[in-house]
Amino acid sequence: MTDDKKTDFAHPNRRQALMMMGAAGAAGAAGLMGPMAIGRDRAFAANADASGQLVLAFSQEPTVFNPLMPHIEVDEGLYYAVYDPLFDFDPAGEFFPILAAEVPTVANGGISADGLKWHLKLKDGVTWHDGTPFTAEDVKFSLELTVDPEFRSFRSTGYKLMQNITVISDTELSWEMSEPFAPMAAILASTYIVPKHVFDGVADKNETVLNTAPIGTGPFKFKNRMAGDHIEFEANADYHMDGPFLETLIIKYVPDLNVMYTQFKSGDIDVIGLQYITPDHLAEAETLDGKVVKVTGRATFESIGLNMMRPQFADLAVRQALYMAIDKTSIIDALYYGVPTPTETYMPQQSYYYNQSLPKHEFNIEAANALLDEAGWAKGADGIRAKDGVRLAFSNSTTAGNHLREQAQQFIQQTFAMIGVEMEIKNFPPAVMWGDYWMNSEFDSVMVGLNTLAGADPDTSDYFMSTMSPARGGSGQNTFAYQNPKVDELLTKGAANFVPEERKAIYEEMQAVMREDLPFLPLFQYAVIKGWKDDVTGPAPNVNNRIDTWNVRDWART
């Protein structure tokens, strides 16, 4: 069964076997792979029946149109409409090809057994929105652009390991890796390919036409943008996959979640996207006529992250006591209206690598007090515990203006006080909060929602490897400054392993170690409330992608 469950570089699974058999009909595989597209195998066919208009609303404004430049989640909403990656994750965490003719695996010869040599076949006959043919040169250019010293690249992890990118033909290219790196495929799945020709003769690679009028190979062509309000797209009649089925797609920017919900209710908005329906509206939304409302899980988990360099958190007993003093159930049920699911780990529950047997959290003030008493943390005259000159007092920070989180923070402050711990709330506007304060671990503790995964790949070295802490001299996102030799060892082993069953064991062990160690106090895995009109088909949850439009090519109105 496991063979069938996950895309696997060592053993071909059923879908990849299909792909290999139908290698000549690479395009056919594309039609099969889209989860909503089964039986609509009309790839390469100009889509004559694209019809209707759909308004998708986001509460933030997509503004960065070059997908290889630094961007935020909401910008990806536009990328899936305009651009294509080589391949992508479906909701089950399996890869399906988009611009690639097939997903490279060890089995199909796309990746060498040691993971060092990659060979990629592309679809033939794909064109850019301006009519220029898409070739392997575009792919090579895009991959190299990410490490171009002149270019403001959104990341270099993985890409900098690629060497000798060679174009073999218009539809074939190969490269070598300087070391085996299992997450590479997941990184490629969120790498959108940009057209090389728009960079020809451009003095500054950061300032091309892509910034204002993006050109891609995707299902929709960029039509126009009304800044601060909406972006309009029209169907790409020459799309190389099935779809699109909509004549016009409009991404609307509605900065206020209440207004967004009101407009969804009144029918001005067809699909409610990023930041979604607020939990307090769930009960009402579910009763709306002609609307489909769904609670779906996200890969992001909420936690209280501790700065492990602070003496207050050095004692495991303190971390355990703090965890016990959080009334998780009340936070989830009352403040978040029961929408998110409690979790004990950073790994999403939908993931193949999720460890189901982690010990369950228990809210118990008495036990927490007893634990601290036993560990020698005695209450001072002010009611705050201390030991060896260290007072159990610290600050907690998060983005100012995130109301639900601020409410949870204040509630936790109250239950912490019941075990003789003083938590001061010290929130900042986003630009300050996530600047050096976060990156260089200048906080005592934070309340943060993190997605530590790249797509469906379980590697989280960036966040938990001891060498990845900027505050300890490393470069990465280990801002909790977490150090655990066992975790380091498991992460190194996991990143060099290409066998899912073996990796599963490694990452399950790692989750168990971290649940015991508590460098962060896990609260819940995010779930969001999506909604669309009942005549809209296509929107589908996908925990492996950051944004709703991952399959916008399949969206239609009936």
Partner 1 sequence: MTAVTTTPPARSPRIKSRALRRFLSHRLALIGLIMVLTLTAACFIGPMLLPYDELYIDLLARFSPPGTGGHIFGTDPLGRDIAARLFHAGQISMAVGFAVMLIATTIGSVVGVVSGYYGGKVAAVLMRVVDAFLSFPSVFLLLALAAFIQPGPVMIALIISATSWMEVARIVEAEVKSLRNQDFVQAAHMLGLSNRWIMFRELLPNAIGPIIVAATLTVARAILLEAYISFLGYGIQPPLPSWGNMLNGAQQYLQSAPWLAIVPGVAITIAVTGFNFIGDGLRDAFDSRSHGQ
Partner 2 sequence: MLRYLLSRFGQSLILLLIVSFIGFAVLTLAPGGPLSQFALSPGMTQEQIDKIAAQMGLDRPVVVQYFDWITHLVMGDWGTSYRDGQSVLHVIGSHLFATLLLMGTATTLSVSLGSSIGIFSALRRGSTFDYTMTVLAMVALSIPTFWFGLIAIYLFSLNLGWLPAGNMYTVGDGSVLDYLRHLILPAAVLALVDVAIWSRYMRTSTLNVINQDFIRTAKAKGLPRRRVVMKHIVGNSLVPMITLAGLQLPMVLGGALVTETVFTWPGMGRLFLDSLGYSDYPVVMGLLMASAMLVLVGNLAADLIVALIDPRIRLE
55 binds, among partner 2, partner 1, none (CB under 5 to 8 A by kind): partner 2
396 touching partner 1, by CB under 8 A: no
125 touching partner 1, by CB under 8 A: no
CB-CB neighbours of 261 under 10 Å: 23
349 touching partner 2, by CB under 8 A: no
Q: Are strands 520-533 and 341-342 parallel, antiparallel or unpaired?
A: antiparallel
Hey, CA dihedral for 471, 474, 480, 484, is it positive or negative? negative
Three-class DSSP labels, 527-542: EEEEEEECCEECCCCC
400 touching partner 1, by CB under 8 A: yes
Cα–Cα distance measured from residue 322 to residue 324, given in angstroms and rounded to the nearest whole number: 5
442 touching partner 1, by CB under 8 A: no
- With CA atoms as reference, report the closest residue to 85 among 236, 274, 217, 242: 217
**Residue with Cβ nearer partner 2 (29 or 184):** 184
**Residue with Cβ nearer partner 1 (212 or 414):** 414
CA 241-242-243 angle, to 5 degrees, is: 110
What b-and-e string marks burial along 134-154, b requiring 16 or more CB atoms within 10 Å of the CB? Answer: bbbebbbbbbebbeeeebebb
The three-state secondary structure class of 298 is strand
Instruction: Answer whether 363's CB lies under 8 Å from 419's CB.
Output: no
199 touching partner 2, by CB under 8 A: no
256 touching partner 2, by CB under 8 A: yes
Binding span for partner 1 by CB under 8 A among 152-160, 330-338, 480-488, 514-522: 330-338
61 touching partner 2, by CB under 8 A: yes
363 binds, among partner 1, partner 2, none (CB under 5 to 8 A by kind): none
155 binds, among partner 2, partner 1, none (CB under 5 to 8 A by kind): partner 2
4, 130, 207, 535: residue in contact with partner 2 (rule CB under 8 A)? 207
Q: Could you give the C-alpha distances from 70 to 74, 81, 86, 290, in angstroms and in order?
A: 12, 18, 20, 38
335 binds, among partner 2, partner 1, none (CB under 5 to 8 A by kind): partner 1
Cβ contacts of 11 within 8 Å, gap of 6 or more: 3, 107
- Does a cis peptide bond (omega within 30 degrees of 0) precede residue 104? no
Shortest distance, position 67 Cβ to partner 2, whole Å: 12
407 touching partner 1, by CB under 8 A: yes
18 binds, among partner 1, partner 2, none (CB under 5 to 8 A by kind): none
Binding span for partner 1 by CB under 8 A among 350-358, 400-408, 510-518, 534-542: 400-408
Shortest distance, position 267 Cβ to partner 2, whole Å: 10
Cα–Cα distance measured from residue 96 to residue 351, given in angstroms and rounded to the nearest whole number: 17
The residue behind tokens 């308004």 is 55
Q: Could you give the C-alpha distances from 484 to 273, 453, 463, 468, 490, in angstroms and in order?
A: 39, 19, 12, 12, 10
535 touching partner 2, by CB under 8 A: no
Q: Which of residues 379-438 bind partner 2 (CB under 8 A)?
A: 428-438
Shortest distance, position 259 Cβ to partner 2, whole Å: 4
60, 330, 341, 537: residue in contact with partner 1 (rule CB under 8 A)? 330
Shortest distance, position 31 Cβ to partner 2, whole Å: 29
63 binds, among partner 1, partner 2, none (CB under 5 to 8 A by kind): partner 2
Q: Are strands 95-97 and 53-58 parallel, antiparallel or unpaired?
A: unpaired
H/E element holding 97?
Answer: strand 95-97
The three-state secondary structure class of 330 is helix
440 touching partner 1, by CB under 8 A: no
Give bridge partners of residue 342 from the DSSP assignment: 524
102 binds, among partner 2, partner 1, none (CB under 5 to 8 A by kind): none
Instruction: Answer whether 450's CB lies under 8 Å from 482's CB.
Output: no
DSSP letter assigned to residue 360: P
What does residue 528 show for φ and ψ, rounded to 5 degrees? -125, 160
- Strand order, beta sheet including 117-121: 117-121, 172-177, 162-169
406 binds, among partner 2, partner 1, none (CB under 5 to 8 A by kind): partner 1
254 touching partner 2, by CB under 8 A: yes
Binding span for partner 1 by CB under 8 A among 31-39, 83-91, 251-259, 482-490: 251-259
Shortest distance, position 118 Cβ to partner 2, whole Å: 19
The three-state secondary structure class of 556 is strand
Q: Residues touching partner 2: how many (CB under 8 A)?
A: 69
Taking residues 447 to 466 in sequence order and writing x for each that binds partner 1 by CB under 8 A, - otherwise, the string is --------------------
Give bridge partners of residue 174 from the DSSP assignment: 119, 166
431 touching partner 1, by CB under 8 A: yes
393 touching partner 1, by CB under 8 A: no
330 binds, among partner 1, partner 2, none (CB under 5 to 8 A by kind): partner 1
100, 120, 187, 325: residue in contact with partner 2 (rule CB under 8 A)? 187
228 touching partner 2, by CB under 8 A: yes
Instruction: Answer whether 100's CB lies under 8 Å from 121's CB.
Output: yes
CB-CB neighbours of 82 under 10 Å: 26
Binding span for partner 2 by CB under 8 A among 23-31, 128-136, 161-169, 206-214: 206-214
Using CB under 8 A, list all residues that contact partner 1: 256-258, 278, 280, 330, 334-335, 400-401, 403, 406-407, 410-411, 413-414, 425-429, 431-432
